[in-house]
Structures are given as structure tokens and as C-alpha cells.
Structure 1
Amino acid sequence: MTAAKTSLSGKNLRSGMMAGAMGLGMLGLGFAAVPLYEVFCRVTGYGGTTQRVGEAQAATIEATSQVMSIRFDSNVNSALPWSFKPEQAVDRVSVGARDMAIFIATNESDQPVVGTATFNVTPLLAGKYFNKVQCFCFSEQMLKPGQTVRMPVLYYVDPAIMEDPETKDIKEITLSYTFYRSTDEQAVDAANGDS
């Protein structure tokens, strides 16, 4: 009977260790889910996520005779005391040609404020063909009290959009930004001169 108890004890220990390992594995997957999802969205354009490309890659793309309208949409979360709008609401661009859009932001408060922008494009299927070379949205922005800044976005629409059966009929893309107040304590402290 002692051997049976030892065998049962060993099985319970193995089962407990396997359950613990599975629990740790699930916890690890939980922490990895957000970065993995962000990579998935960037690669596939899922949810209207735009692509980020370097200057060298952008230089290899040739403009086509196909023209497309790009609309610019701007929003500000109520916790951020800024105004934010595109300098031009709509632009007509040649597919494949690099173009620049300018957004204007003003800090309407009496203190420095750090903001961060989220973005997407619609129709969502166009996300994987909308490429940003430079953008204010790649980093947090700090505006001093009353400061107004012009924020550029350098972009192009990949000509491959015209060959994809799901996107070849798209004639207009909307690039939308929403600015939020930063929760990055170091950036906020630096903006307020506390660092």
C-alpha cells in the first residue's frame, strides 16, 4: 500500500506541476497578446492599421496615373485641452507618389501638455496599402501653454492597392487621428519641468 501511495503522490505532483506550467504559459501569452496583436495589425493592415516604412523603401515606389482622394479626420479626447485639425480636409494624390499632409495642434491650456495620437484608415482594407514614411504619431508630442504647431505626415498609397480584387475599386481613403493626453509620467514630468 505504501508503494501505491507513493505512486499516487508522484502522479499528483506531476499533475500539479503540469497545471502550474500551463498556468505560467497562459500568463505569458496574456502579456504577449497585445504586442503580438499590434504586429499582426501592422503586417496585415487589420482594423485599418497603416504601414510604417523607411525613406529608402518609399524611394523605390513609382507614382502611377491613378488618382485617389485622401480625407483627413481629426479628433481630440475630452481630457486633452488641445484643438487639432487638418490644414486641408481632402487631398488628391497619385497612387504611389509621396505626399505630405499637415495637421495643426494648439494647446489651449495654461500648462505644458503631452499628447499621443492613435490612427487608422477607412476603408479598413486599405490599411495595408497606406504607408507612412514620417508622422507626428510615431512619438508623443509636447506643447507649451498656448503653443500652436504644424505636424506633418509624409505618406503614400502603395500601387498594389489597384491589383488587389478587394481594394481595386477604392477611390477614397480617410486617414483619421485621435489625440489623447499622455499617461507616460516621465514625458509629463519633463513637459512640466520636474525631471
Structure 2
Amino acid sequence: MPLTGPQKTVAQTVGLVVVMGGLAWASVPFYDWFCRVTGFGGTVGYASVAPEDVLEQTVKVRFDGSLNNDMAWEFTPVVREMEIRIGETGLAFYEAYNPTDRPVAGMASYNVTPYQAGGFFEKIDCFCFEEQVLAPGERVQMPVSFFVDPEIVGDREGQYIHTITLSYTFYEIDLPEGYAALETDQPTELN
């Protein structure tokens, strides 16, 4: 039996919602892949080791740390900037502190500016996109090791980059189950 006018409209609307939902779901991994491959939007690459080729040319790397509006931690780079040779492995630390009386879980996202440097800034090890849980009053230092790919000196835009800024933003996430149970076991104050 063929669909009537209103039934056909409802079926088309439901179909459109399903297609749009599928496209929205697929766009996140596709966009992430695209940014990692191209360095678009300051997205950096990942490498297991630094290149053997270390140049005499240097680049200044600045470090920036910020928090999402609802994040209760304090978060800052230990050193604000360093100068490294292109191809040399750099090691920097960020410090996070939980001043609250409850455990707080967080995750960091990052970017690199200028955006053209994203394709040449390679991380070897990083705390980004990893769940971090800090107990009340806990302070930790989190390392990031990186290098600037020597190919930057041959790139028509990259060759003019002398300063790169690596920025992290921490945002609060839900506590894992084991920690969530600890949070509910704490006494609460009654007003």
C-alpha cells in the first residue's frame, strides 16, 4: 500500500534526520583524520622518535595553558618558552592542581599557532586527550615531548615561522566509576 501525503512527509523527515545524524557522527572522526594529516587548524602530528637530522636553525616554542569555564583546576606551563634547534627533541612540563575538596577528572585538547606550523610540529609523548584524575589538593606535572620537523625550512610558508605556540585547554569530564564512588562516600554539609 503506497504512503499517503502525511505519511510520506513523516517518512522523509525521519529519513532526513537519520541521514543527518549519520553524517554528524561520521564528521568528527573524518575531521580529526583530516586535521592530523594536513596540520589544518594547528593540529600537530605524532611521531615515535625525533628525526636524526638536527639543524643549526632554531625556533622559539611558547607554551600556553587555559581552562574551560567550568574546570576547577589550576593549570599552567612550568616554563613559558624555550628555544630549540629544528629537529631537536624538546621536553616541557605543564602543572595541574586540584584546589577543591573532591576528585576532579579532566581532559586536555590542544592546538598550535600559527596554524601553518601544525604540520611540522610533532609530538612524541603527550597528556592530551587522556583522562586525568586529580584527588583533592593533588598537584601533578605532565610532560610533553616534541620536535619541529626539519622540513619546515623548505616549506614556502613554514620557512618564515620563528615562534610556535603550543596551547592546551583542560576541561572537566565525568569521573570514572571507581572515583565517582569515592566522591559519593564523602560526607556532605547540610545547610
TM-score bracket for this pair, using the shorter chain length: 0.7 to 0.9
Please give the alpha-carbon distance, in whole angstroms, between the structure 1 residues aligned to 2:52 and 2:37: 18
For structure 2, the 5+ residue unaligned runs are: 3-7, 184-191
Q: CA RMSD in A?
A: 2.5
Q: Deviation at 1:25?
A: 4.7
Aligned to 1:79: 70
Q: 1:43 aligns with which of 28, 37, 43?
A: 37
Query: Match for 2:147 among 156, 160, 163?
Result: 156
CA contact (8 A) 2:92 2:144 kept: yes
Which aligned segments of 4 or more residues in structure 1 are displaced greater than 6 angstroms? Answer: none
Match of 1:170 among 136, 142, 161: 161
- Structure 1 vs Structure 2: percent identity of aligned residues? 41
| SS, match of residue 128 in structure 1 | coil
**Alignment CA distance shift 1:25-1:77 (3 Å):** closer
Shift of 1:193: 3.5
CA distance in 2, matches of 1:28, 1:88: 43
- Cα deviation for residue 49 of structure 1 reads 0.7
TM-score norm. by structure 1 comes to 0.81
Which string of whole-angstrom CA distances, capped at 9 and with x for unpartnered residues, describes residues 31-73 of structure 1? 20111011101111111111122x2xx2444211111100001
CA distance in 2, matches of 1:190, 1:98: 36
User: Deviation of residue 181 (structure 1)?
Assistant: 0.4
Residues in 2 aligned to 1:173 and 1:134: alpha-carbon distance in whole angstroms: 18
User: How far off its partner does 1:29 sit?
Assistant: 2.3
Do the aligned partners of 1:87 and 1:104 also contact (CA within 8 Å) in 2? yes
Gap regions ≥5 residues in structure 1: 1-8, 10-14
User: How many pairs does the alignment contain?
Assistant: 178
Distance in 1 (alpha carbons) for counterparts of 2:99 and 2:85: 36
Deviations, residues 126-156 of structure 1 (Å, cap 9, x unaligned) = 0011111111114111101000001000100
Q: Does 1:191 align with 2:176?
A: no
TM-score by length of 2: 0.83
Q: Map of 1:136-147 to 2, 5 A cutoff?
A: 136-147=127-138
- What is the CA–CA distance in structure 2 between the aligned matches of 1:163 and 1:150, rounded to whole Å? 35
Larger Rg: 1
- Residues 53-109 of structure 1 show CA distances to partners (whole Å, capped at 9, x for unaligned) of 2x2xx2444211111100001101231111111111010001111110011110010
